[in-house]
Amino acid sequence: MDLKSLIRDIPDFPKPGIVFRDITTLLSNPEGLRYTIDLLAQNCQEAGLKPDYVVGIESRGFIFGTPLAYQLGAGFVPVRKPGKLPAAVQGVEYQLEYGTDRVEMHQDAFEPGSRVLIVDDLMATGGTAAATAELVQQIGGELVGFGFIIELRALGGRQKLPNVPILTLIEY
**Which pLDDT does position 117 carry in this prediction?**
99
**Which pLDDT does position 131 carry in this prediction?**
98
Alpha-carbon dihedral 78, 146, 91, 111, rounded to 10 degrees = 70
Mean pLDDT along residues 121-141: 97
Give me the architecture of the 49-171 domain, per CATH. Answer: 3-Layer(aba) Sandwich (3.40)
**Which pLDDT does position 99 carry in this prediction?**
84
**Which pLDDT does position 31 carry in this prediction?**
98
> Which of 8, 31, 60, 134 does the annotation list as catalytic?
60
pLDDT at 112 over 80: yes
Assign 63 to helix, strand or coil: helix
CA distance 123 to 64: 14
CA distance 99 to 80: 18
> Which of 31, 93, 97, 151 does the annotation list as catalytic?
97
pLDDT at 97 over 80: no
Query: Is 97 considered catalytic here?
Result: yes
Mean pLDDT along residues 74-103: 94
Query: Is 60 considered catalytic here?
Result: yes
CA distance 149 to 33: 11
DSSP single-letter state for residue 80: B
Q: pLDDT > 90: what percent of the chain? A: 97
